[in-house]
Amino acid sequence: MRIDWNGITSDPTITERDNKSTPNSTPADANIGEDTASLASTPDNVKALASDVLAAPPIRQEKVDALRQAVSTGQYKIEPDKVAEAILQDATNKEFPS
């Protein structure tokens, strides 16, 4: 089977590839072949991704460093209730593909 992505989408086009078989092959052997994957992007996709990256908020390195320090010293305390609430909130704010 060959997976051919024409652009980066959540709905890739999947196509069957010709299987190489010998004249003495059995029907079970007909499904044996080489799997390949090919990813390609168009200039429009690249521009859209670049735009998304540029629109992302900058990394606040001082916050990252402070968090890294708290984790490494054991001072960072996880609050399971807040984590679960944030996961549920995030899940309800996203649109899932059908």
The C-alpha atoms of residue 12 and residue 3 are separated, in whole angstroms, by: 7
The kind and range of the H/E element at 72 are helix 61-73
The C-alpha atoms of residue 11 and residue 75 are separated, in whole angstroms, by: 43
**Max alpha carbon distance in the chain (Å)?**
68
Torsion of CA 22, 30, 20, 39, to 10 degrees: -170
pLDDT one-digit tens code per residue, 58-82: 889 999 999 999 999 999 999 999 9
- Report the residue count for the chain: 98
Residue pointed to by tokens 């540029």: 54
DSSP state of 31: G
Residue ranges per structural domain of the chain: 2-93
pLDDT one-digit tens code per residue, 18-60: 444 445 555 555 556 788 877 777 888 889 889 988 998 888 9
Q: What is the pTM of this model?
A: 0.34
